[in-house]
Every structure is written in C-alpha cells, then in structure tokens.
Amino acid sequence: MTTTPDRTRENNEVLSELLRIVSLPTPLHEMLDAFLEKLLSLSWLDLLHKGGIFLYEKDIRGNDILRLVVERNFSQHLSQICAEVPFGRCLCGRAAASRQVIHASHVNAEHEITDASTLDHGHYVLPILDGDQVLGVLVLYLPSGARKNVTQVEFLERCTAILYLAINLQRKTLQLETSNRELEFQKQTLDEHAIVSIADRRGDIIYVNDKFCLISGYSRDELLGHNHRMLKSGEHSPAFYRELWRTIASGRPWHGEIKNRRMDGRYYWVQATIVPFMDKAGKPFQYVGIRTDITDRKLIEEAMKQAQTVAHLGSWSLDLVEDKLSWSDEIYRIFGLDPKHFGASLAAFIDCVHPEDRDYVTQQYQGSMAGLFPYDIQHRIVRRDSGEVRWVHERCLHLRDNEGRVIRSDGTVQDITERKLTEEKILHLAMTDSLTGLANRNQFKHRFEDVLHLAQREHKLLAVLVIDLDKFKPINDTYGHHVGDLVLQAFAAILRQHSRETDVVARLGGDEFALLLVNPDTSAVAGRIAQRILDTLATPLPIPGHELMVGASIGISLFPTDGKDEDTLLQKADLALYESKSCGRNAYTYYRPELKMPEL
C-alpha cells in the first residue's frame, strides 16, 4: 500500500509533470496522449491502465458531441463505437451534459455504449470545464466494485483543471500562429516563437523559458522571484493594468498587446495571452502567459499609417485653445475646394457635409470629445466645385490636458466613394437573380418583411402568388439550358408586365417564382392578375428560332385572411399551388382551409 508521504510525493511529481506537459508547445493530440499516460501511472489511484480523453465539438448537424481523441488499451471495436458520443448518452455524454463528475462501480444500464468482450469494471468520468462550457471529458477505468473516493475525485478534478488549461493554451497557440502568419512568420512553429512565463498570485515570476530571457535581455536568475512590473515601458496607463488584473483575477483569460522594456532600455511589443490557474476555491493561484513577438508588425503598421497619410488621406488638426484649424492639401482636393479662395475653417467643413448628415457628424464629434465613443464615422459630402455627392471616412483622436479637457483634435479624411459603390454593387448582386434581374429569395424575404410590417400597421391587404412553370423541364431537356434560360427571362418579363412598381416580383429558384401584390383593392385582384398571366402564356413565348408553349400553376394566399406572417402565407400559397397542379395545371387556386399537402 502507498503511504501518505509517498502518495503526496507521487502526486506532486505527477502534477509537476502535467504542468510541464501543459507548458510545452507540442500538438494537442501529443499533449493529451502524454497527459493520459502520466495520469494512469499514478499508483495510489488504483486505476486500471485504461482510459480516454474526449473533446467537445459539434457534428455536421450542429449537435453537441464528444469525440475520442486519445485512449489507452481500448479495443478496436470500443474505439469505433466510442469515436463520437452524443451529449446525454452513456456515462461520458451524461457527465458532459450535467457538468458533474460521474462514478460507477459496475457496468450497468447507464452504460449504453459497451464492448461485449470487456469484463465488468467501474468508472470515473470527469467533465473538463471552462466555467460552464464543456471542453471535453476524462474517463478512467476502475476495478469492478471500486467505490467512490473523495480524495481521488478532488485530485482528478485538479487534473481536469490542468487539462482545461492545456486545451485553452493550445487554442490560443493556434490563434497566435494565425497572427504570425499575417506577419510572414507562418513557417515558424509555436516552439520557435512562443515566449512563456508562469507567475504566482502576486505576479512574481516563477518560471520563464529561454525565449523570454532572450527577448527581455535578462537572465533567468535576474527574472525569477521578481515581478513583471520590472518590464513596464510606460506606454500603458494604470487603468490598462487594472483591467488586465481584474480580468485574470476573475478567472478569465486576458488577450491583448503589451509594450515592454528590455534590460538595455530598448522596447518590444508582444501579443499576449494570460490564463489563470484556479484552485479548489475558484481563486487563481498561478498565471501562465504565452506571448508572441510582434515588434516588427508594429513597426510595419506605423510605417503603413504614415504612408497612407501621405499617399491617400487628408489630415487636419484643430487647436481648440487657439481656435485654429489646419488642413492638408489632400482635404482641399477631396472637398473640391480651391486653397486660394477657401481657408481652413470649421464653417467651410460643415458647409461641405451633405445637409442630411450634418447633425450626425456634429453629434459624433461632440460625443467623442465627451469620451462617449471614438470619432470613426462615414458620411457624405458635396464637392464645392462640381456638386458631386461623395462618401468619406473620418477618424480623429483628441489630446487632453491634465483635467481631461480636449485641447486639440487630429484627424484624417479619406474618400471612400469607390468602395461604397462597390459595396452597393455587391449588395445588389447578393439580392438579385442574375439571370432574370428579378429579386432573389433573399431580397424577396427582406421586402416581404417590410411590406408585411406596413400592412399590419396600416391594416392593408396583401396577396401572395407562388408560381411554377409547367412544361419547363421538357423544354430544358430538349433544347438545352440556353433556351431554358431564355424561357425564364421571357416569363420574368411577363410578370413585370402584370405587376406594379410597388409590387415585389421574385425568382425563388429554378422555375419557381413569386409575386407579392401590395395593397390590392380587393382579394379578387389577385385572381385577375393570375388569369392575365395565364392568358399571356396561351400564346408562344418570343424565343428566337422557337415557338415554345409553357403554362403555369399558381397558388394564392391573402393577408390577413390566410395568415399573419411570411412563413404561413407562403406555406398556404404553396398548398394552393399544389391544388392547381393536381387539377390539371395551367390554373390558379386561392387557398382554402381544406387544402392539404399531397402525400409523396
């Protein structure tokens, strides 16, 4: 039997080794594999040398599942049936769903996933939690009949806390790698660029790796036992550090950029992730920091800002003490002003702002001066030379005196008209059917919502016509997609012909169309328009080189008689459409309560 001193020594050795495994920049699978192997080697737990670690993810249907990542001594069959475990199923799924430790002395009815060849056994199943979020599950096998041991459970919960840290650190490591790929450091592995330290609850350094020593310029002996304050650069305010400590002291990881000072006085920037280790009382007792050197990126960003200001941006500076405004030449060009005839003044600037945007610009500037939000806005201007309306993007920063009053504002103005036009074109493409020029399903949905709200508010009538072309597939198959496309375009023109500008005409997909009649005089109008469409289709379509006949089946539903929302109205129009099809096609049908969807 293992004595208490031996057990304590063994526990400490295992915990130290687990912490070492966590701090190493190894792939997640390898880390978890080493973690499980070390845990199963602890003799006083009386475990069978068998267990596994599952990680949380969602399957292709969006359901919460546990995926088996590493295991020890699972049979091939057990590994296969345990590869994916839904939340709530078997012991592992129940531990994940309940966020509670589960103990079992024997294989019982709750073992929904079993290997028939396995002898009777027990389990410890522990959820790996990040607050209330499940990261995974640790499952360990016990001899048959083994009772629950509180000391064992407490120790294993500490181990799952380390697993939580390991998983989180690995995820943050991937984020750091992505950030460094943007800096063209993507060929370096985390081991080549990670700067790692561990601090106690006071912030005193108890561990640093070689890269920490290299970037800071201090030796390991000069760092250990000292506080991270020795690296302060003076760049960040006391409020910055208070927020950092408030975050990690509450048990939440902190992410951000920090400027530090080397021993030789030079400065460097790091992208940092600081993760707290929590004790049994839920209080942090250690903080692990993983950092990436982003000094080069910061220098590049500063150079890019300067280059953009010179090449693309107009700059301005407003001295509120002297009431003096200065502009760069680029602002005169953006506003269409002649520097010989217009001096830089607030009145001249406001005069160039589009009349509909002036109040907004003024409110945003005043709000930024009050510290409510940053001044980072887009608005329209009217060029003084041509009267052309253009879009600009403005930003500014405020310089304050010791009492917090703004004494100067420095900002930039960038002409973004081309970008706005591109965005509008993209939006148009996203909302329009490219073949027919009609609204697509997305635009139809948005327009439907707007029209429906208006009809509800003003107690107006709406009619929904859902239309399927009859005999379209044989045309497509016989004459090819080119002729089929011409048929769809011709039919779209017919729908436009029989609708008003206020109505919504859409192609929902394939040969399915919809027509939303806004505020018709009576419900009978929908039937008359449907009949006009059918009458127009009674003659061949104007397709070059072909005389092609198609028909249409039309279903009609009415607001508010048949439904109060979009889904209900479309569903009932579809039921009426199927009735038209079942009655021989080339007809229209109003929805009636007795209509049912035909069985397949």
CB within 8 Å of 17: residues ≥ 6 apart:
38
| Nearest partner of 126 among 106, 146, 108, 152, judged by Cα | 152
User: What is the per-residue pLDDT for 384?
Assistant: 87
Measured distance CA(281)–CA(253) in Å, rounded = 18
pLDDT reported for residue 1: 45
Per-residue pLDDT tens, the chain, 600 aa: give them. Answer: 455 666 677 777 777 777 787 777 778 888 888 888 888 887 777 788 889 999 999 888 889 989 999 999 988 888 898 889 999 888 888 988 999 999 988 888 778 777 776 788 888 999 998 888 899 999 999 998 888 888 888 888 888 888 888 788 777 777 766 665 554 443 344 446 678 889 998 889 999 888 899 999 999 999 999 998 999 999 899 999 999 999 999 999 999 999 999 999 989 999 999 999 888 888 899 998 888 888 888 876 665 445 444 545 788 888 888 888 888 778 888 888 888 777 777 778 888 899 999 999 999 989 998 888 899 999 999 998 889 999 999 998 898 988 888 988 888 888 888 888 877 777 667 778 888 889 888 889 988 998 999 999 989 999 999 999 998 888 888 888 898 899 999 999 999 999 998 899 999 988 999 999 999 999 999 999 999 999 999 999 888 888 888 999 999 999 999 999 999 999 999 999 999 998 888 899 999 998 876 554
Rg, Å, the chain Cα set:
35
Whole-number pLDDT of residue 187: 30
Q: Are 284 and 249 in contact (CB under 8 A)?
A: yes
Strand partners, 375: 396
Q: What pLDDT sits at residue 308?
A: 46
Q: Which domains does the chain have, with CATH numbers?
A: 4-167 (3.30.450.40), 183-300 (3.30.450.20), 312-420 (3.30.450.20), 432-590 (3.30.70.270)
Q: Which two tokens stand for residue 556?
A: 């009609």
Q: How far apart are CA 600 and CA 469, in angstroms?
A: 20
Q: How far apart are CA 586 and CA 304, in angstroms?
A: 64
- The first and second tokens of residue 182, run together, are 């943007």
- The answer to whether 468 is a known catalytic residue is no
**Residue 390 phi/psi, 5° resolution?**
-135, 165
Cα separation values, 506 from 303, 541, 558, 564, 585, Å: 49, 19, 18, 21, 21
Residue in 511, 535, 562, 565 annotated catalytic: 511
pLDDT at 193: 60
Contact 315, 309 (CB under 8 A): yes
User: What are the beta bridge partners of residue 55?
Assistant: 67, 136
Q: Which of 296, 23, 302, 301 is nearest to 185 (CA)?
A: 296
- Structure tokens, 297: 């990126």
